[in-house]
Structure 1
């Protein structure tokens, strides 16, 4: 059902808006609207133009919250906004100092990484770096040569070149090493090496030992620095952990203050005048609105006005669903299609009954239904998943029809009806499966029920034309009910009254449906249709023809209920045959288990989707608009 709504207007001094939010709005569910839009004239009112002062504090808070482990488990303490901001700044400053130290350590680590990458290719050099630096008569260069060029080393260089190249590392792409040349020939040798794309690698002069020793020293220094970084990061965690309760409380207080301040965006305030006050408007459940009004009676600074006439306000009431716990999971499917408008029928209960009923028929097996029920119940209890609740309800229905069909994981027992074997003989049609007949009759009953719901919706919306004329209105109900009655009379051997009903009840409803548009305009006192009689007649004829086709297709769509019931029974019969259970034989339990798992997973999913398709296209389309907007209380947003 849809909760009854009242429009609430709260007014008070402009500088008391935080008081109003903290003491009233944060304690009651109210769907706020733009107050300025509610007034017919904005000459006397304007909006706040102040920037939210808690923006910076909120950004800091979100950064700090990312460091808190399991903040949802922290018990929130009361703290003033001033204390909260001061505490956040204090913690932020402490962490900033530690993070600066970490940054400096990371810079040192990066420098060591660069030095290590320079030295590592030369670890195979059996000379100390200091010995190389101190040579008086020779110069040197560390570097790398593309391997392709190195292979042609002798052809590129003069055989009598005055240089020595010591290879330290040969990779797939480059050859690393160092060349030495006498001082007087060094420039000439350097040019020759440049011709073979020798790329110099600079080695810091602070490293003087053997390259491999220096690399070990670098790794040791890096490890020490990394330990220091880890210690600093642990200290950050310690700071957060030791002040966790107060920190989370401060963050939540700032979030609340930020959200409370943003209420100003929806409020209207008086322009510069002798009286300076603000107005907030919104929708509340009528019962809660009365409570709020009673609470503010003794508050001299707050005026609360509650209006129960929803039609006199510019905004439409939002929709707040209130259903029994057993029905509530099915709100998921209703919301997927669209929430009902405030003045519309809530289809949740109807959807619950029809969805579970249809699923049970299409997937009737006592054992598999128990699996769905147990699995859905556990998931719903643990995870609070609405879909799991729907599966649980579908499982109950599947158990009921499984008992009626005499099926337990495919094993048959005495039953009321068998989807594969129960037949009935009908005039004109001969012998036909009784499940298909039942599916057709059930579908017809559901279609007629949706028409009644559509009529009820129209009456609730005070739309008499919609209630009386149309394929889903009174005229459509009479026509479709007459069709079903004629079929039943002919099938039960009573053609005469069926023919009379066919002649009388077909013509009048169809004629009224044909003239649906002008009749609706007449009732609504609108101008007649501005088009020629020929165009109107052609349009109305094709629309009527489309309605008739839709009636037929809707009725036939419900036959899939019976078809799926039969196919499910046939699939389980195949499983039992594969398991060797025909003629009373001892079945292969492993085959039975695997077969049931496949049917439960594959057909269960297909049936669930097909039932939802029937709900949306064959049922909802006849009476339900789903154009409502959700009731979103300020308190939920604030939370």
Structure 2
């Protein structure tokens, strides 16, 4: 689960007449990724496969469009009989063409309507900034006293226009997209505005003569609405037609996918006058199975690739439970693991939801995110998307953890429903919320672990300080594990330079924060006080206070200095070896990249985890602020009176929508950032290629 599967490069040599049987067996086994042979037995190829594969891929694309527009789940179904892969491909291609022909008119109509709608939408976008103008432009452009010009310009042309026009006129601009502005230019008649526009390359905004921008805008809007109505009616007709033969469409789709993979094997194969050669990668544990399947009609051999120094890096396969595999979509944003790398997925499956939950502790808000994620999952499945369901499951995991932290924090759509006005106003004279006494987590539990979530009824300045230490402790632990995994990866790669000059110095640097913030375990009952004392000793050591009073502080400073010097020297050696630098420039670059930058990253990466506390606090106090505003519009000592006040309810709904939409998105992005930049950068390169085996998508008979 942590380590990629050992891959071998498999070679199959057989008689040319066994082509169909060998391809069928490889598809049924489903663990073979075809490659071009390293040492081909000849230059011959199976030309029919090369010619047919483009057509198959084209049919697959068209069927996906038909199923998507028809509202079908995009999935393969059914079975397929075959004796010859080339003949079967020709037959299925013909069958797919007939199927597409039945939908050709509807698809062409939808395509035409979409193109027409896009054209009108573009025109609407261009005219929108001027839609309030009810004067014919020809009259506007022919005024006797003023020049009036409407145009659309880029930011560069707008700046140039301002320079040339100076104080000769007035420019009113509206930004319509990332780099485009709609402008109204007004000058005195004596100004040579046409000459200025020609010099810059600006074209006047023109529309059909006799119509105002206001009229044209409304006409375009009406046309778009009419097209939308026709488009929806055409889609419904297509959907009804597709659903009458749903299984047939999915069966053709499954056959095409299977044929695509079969042709991929054949396209990469080499042939001589009598023999066929097929090569590719398979996980080593499946070699015996393939040899047993092929023993009657092929010779099967394999080699184990080296982890370092190989011309071609093997593909990466990390086998793990299906429930964890969805996190691949997050990891692949960074990159696919290299063959020798420890997979970060097992690391991510725990850290990502936990950090999300700590930064988003509200049971009600997290419940909304959970319900949205379930809907989003079903939507993605219906659309046949691969990434939407994966992202949805990640959100489901994260929202469940956020619900748990929300239970502990005793927050349900903000502090008002549980803590009530007593928590909002910090006054025992006011009432608690209606959920206070029925909340499943008692107050005593929340009070005991307030260092995790330093807000609410029992928060103090000390608890916030302790939470800062706890947040940095999480960071120190994550950075230590990340740098340790970097050393493990370097050992697995079997590259000594990579180990001793890149990963080992980094590991020695990130031993420092884990030692500092874990030292409190020596006295668990006073954990936070002990850590504060260690931080004080480090400061005293830096200020050269007596060694006898600060021995641990001096030890940490000496260790840090040694690690940074080692990192400096290692980077200098790498620069000297690989960049052909002089000794002086290598030392200088080594100091910048290894010494100075190493020290800067040690401090910034560790402190960066304080954002866990910051986002938890910001989420709480956004909802606290809206709860307080709700109290102000419904002043009462009774929490129920506030919660049933219509205006207060609207305020609370707006606050929670803001917290769910804005805070939820920001927390998700920051969670990714902590993983990608603080953790992954210490051990994960992500420069590999994904293992993509060929397989049968339908039952082969």
On whether the aligned pair clears a TM of 0.5, the verdict is yes
1:296 and 2:294 equivalent? yes
**Which whole-Å deviations, capped at 9, do the CAs of 1:161-184 have from their partners, x for residues lacking one?**
xxxxxxxxxxxxxxxxxxxxxxxx
Look up the match of 1:175: none
1:267 and 2:327 equivalent? no
Question: Cα distance, 1:21 vs. partner?
Answer: 0.6
Question: Cα distance, 1:4 vs. partner?
Answer: 2.9
Pair 1:477–1:55, CA change in 2 (3 A): closer
Q: Does the residue aligned with 1:439 lie in a helix, a strand or coil?
A: helix
Pair 1:584–1:339, CA change in 2 (3 A): farther
Match of 1:441 among 467, 473, 482: 473
Question: Cα distance, 1:286 vs. partner?
Answer: 2.4
Match of 2:323 among 322, 326, 330: 326
Pair 1:570–1:341, CA change in 2 (3 A): same
Match of 1:588 among 643, 649, 654: 643
Q: Does the residue aligned with 1:504 lie in a helix, a strand or coil?
A: helix
> CA–CA distance in 2 between the matches of 1:588 and 1:445?
42
> CA–CA distance in 2 between the matches of 1:401 and 1:291?
48
Pair 1:435–1:14, CA change in 2 (3 A): same
> CA–CA distance in 1 between the matches of 2:470 and 2:98?
75
> CA–CA distance in 2 between the matches of 1:93 and 1:329?
37
Contact in 2 for aligned 1:9/1:305 (Cα 8 Å): yes
Question: Cα distance, 1:474 vs. partner?
Answer: 3.5
Look up the match of 1:615: 675
Contiguous gaps of at least 5 residues in structure 1: 100-232, 426-430
Look up the match of 1:477: 510
> CA–CA distance in 2 between the matches of 1:28 and 1:318?
15
1:631 and 2:682 equivalent? no
Q: Does the residue aligned with 1:454 lie in a helix, a strand or coil?
A: helix
Pair 1:9–1:490, CA change in 2 (3 A): same
Look up the match of 1:509: 563
Match of 2:591 among 522, 536, 541: 541
1:565 and 2:616 equivalent? yes
Look up the match of 2:360: 363
> CA–CA distance in 2 between the matches of 1:398 and 1:62?
41
Look up the match of 1:579: 630
Match of 1:78 among 78, 81, 85: 81
Contact in 1 for aligned 2:564/2:598 (Cα 8 Å): no
> CA–CA distance in 2 between the matches of 1:352 and 1:474?
23
1:397 and 2:420 equivalent? no
> CA–CA distance in 2 between the matches of 1:553 and 1:480?
12
Contact in 2 for aligned 1:423/1:434 (Cα 8 Å): no
Question: Cα distance, 1:593 vs. partner?
Answer: 3.6
Look up the match of 2:525: none
Match of 1:25 among 24, 27, 40: 27
Choose 449-458 or 380-389, whichever is displaced more. 380-389
Contact in 2 for aligned 1:465/1:519 (Cα 8 Å): no
Pair 1:636–1:630, CA change in 2 (3 A): farther
> CA–CA distance in 2 between the matches of 1:461 and 1:95?
50
TM-score (norm 1): 0.65
Match of 2:13 among 11, 18, 22: 11
Contact in 2 for aligned 1:340/1:628 (Cα 8 Å): yes
> CA–CA distance in 1 between the matches of 2:610 and 2:481?
17
Match of 2:454 among 419, 422, 428: 419
Let me know the Cα RMSD of the aligned residues: 4.3
Question: Cα distance, 1:341 vs. partner?
Answer: 0.6
Q: Does the residue aligned with 1:319 lie in a helix, a strand or coil?
A: coil
Question: Cα distance, 1:573 vs. partner?
Answer: 0.9
1:490 and 2:534 equivalent? yes
Match of 2:277 among 279, 289, 305: 279
Question: Cα distance, 1:584 vs. partner?
Answer: 4.7
Kindly tell me the number of residue pairs found equivalent between the two proteins: 483
**Which whole-Å deviations, capped at 9, do the CAs of 1:524-567 have from their partners, x for residues lacking one?**
xx969854432222222222111211222212321111111111
> CA–CA distance in 2 between the matches of 1:435 and 1:29?
49
> CA–CA distance in 2 between the matches of 1:424 and 1:540?
42
Question: Cα distance, 1:621 vs. partner?
Answer: 1.1
Pair 1:265–1:310, CA change in 2 (3 A): farther
TM-score (norm 2): 0.60
Choose 260-269 or 540-549, whichever is displaced more. 260-269
Question: Cα distance, 1:442 vs. partner?
Answer: 1.6
Map 1:26-45; keep pairs closer than 5 Å: 26-35=28-37, 38-39=38-39, 44-45=41-42
> CA–CA distance in 2 between the matches of 1:477 and 1:91?
59
> CA–CA distance in 2 between the matches of 1:490 and 1:473?
22
1:600 and 2:660 equivalent? yes
Q: Does the residue aligned with 2:658 lie in a helix, a strand or coil?
A: helix
Contact in 1 for aligned 2:10/2:280 (Cα 8 Å): yes
Pair 1:48–1:308, CA change in 2 (3 A): same
> CA–CA distance in 1 between the matches of 2:478 and 2:253?
54
Look up the match of 2:108: none
Q: Does the residue aligned with 2:550 lie in a helix, a strand or coil?
A: helix
**Which whole-Å deviations, capped at 9, do the CAs of 1:227-285 have from their partners, x for residues lacking one?**
xxxxxx99xx89x989x988986786577556534533312233x5xxx2121111112
Tell which structure's C-alpha radius of gyration is larger: 1
Contiguous gaps of at least 5 residues in structure 2: 105-236, 382-388, 420-435, 437-442, 520-529, 539-548
> CA–CA distance in 2 between the matches of 1:94 and 1:374?
39
Choose 336-345 or 78-87, whichever is displaced more. 78-87
Q: Does the residue aligned with 1:334 lie in a helix, a strand or coil?
A: helix
> CA–CA distance in 2 between the matches of 1:550 and 1:328?
31
Q: Does the residue aligned with 1:450 lie in a helix, a strand or coil?
A: helix
Q: Does the residue aligned with 2:322 lie in a helix, a strand or coil?
A: coil
Look up the match of 2:233: none
Map 1:90-489; keep pairs closer than 5 Å: 256=258, 260-270=262-272, 276-297=274-295, 299=296, 301-310=297-306, 314-377=311-374, 379-380=376-377, 383=380, 385-411=389-415, 412=419, 414=443, 415-416=446-447, 417=450, 418-420=453-455, 422-423=459-460, 433-470=465-502, 473-481=506-514, 488-489=532-533
> CA–CA distance in 2 between the matches of 1:47 and 1:304?
20
